Structure 1
Amino acid sequence: MKTIAFRLKPGQDLKRALKQATFSHNLQAAIILTAVGDLSRVALRFAGQSQTSVVKGPFEIVSLVGTFAAQGSHLHLSIADESGAVQGGHLMDGTLVAQTVEVVIGELDDLVFTRELDDESGWLELFIRDRESNDGASA
Structure 2
Amino acid sequence: MNLLPLRLLPGADLRRALEAALAADGASAAFVVAGIGSLADAPLRLAGAGEARVIAGASELLTLSGSVGADASHLHATLADATGRVWGGHVGYGCRVRTTAEILLARLSEWQFSRTFDPRTGFAELEIARKPLA
What TM bracket, shorter-length normalisation?
0.7 to 0.9
Query: What is the aligned partner in structure 2 of residue 129 from structure 1?
Result: 129
Query: Which deviates more, 98-107 or 65-74?
Result: 65-74
Deviation at 1:105, TM superposition (A): 0.9
Deviation at 1:14, TM superposition (A): 1.2
In structure 1, runs of 5+ residues without a counterpart are 134-139
Kept in 2, the 8 Å contact 1:41–1:97? The answer is: no
Query: What is the aligned partner in structure 2 of residue 92 from structure 1?
Result: 92
Give me the whole-angstrom Cα distance separating, in 1, the residues matched to 2:20 and 2:38: 20
In structure 2, runs of 5+ residues without a counterpart are none
TM-score, length-scaled by structure 1:
0.83
Query: What is the aligned partner in structure 1 of residue 82 from structure 2?
Result: 82
Kept in 1, the 8 Å contact 2:37–2:101? The answer is: yes
Give me the whole-angstrom Cα distance separating, in 2, the residues matched to 1:103 and 1:85: 23
Structure with greater Cα Rg: 1
Query: C-alpha root-mean-square deviation of aligned residues, in Å?
Result: 1.9
Percent identical among aligned pairs is: 36
Number of residue equivalences: 133
Q: Does 1:32 align with 2:32?
A: yes
Query: Which deviates more, 113-122 or 41-50?
Result: 113-122
3-state DSSP class of the match of 2:10? Answer: coil
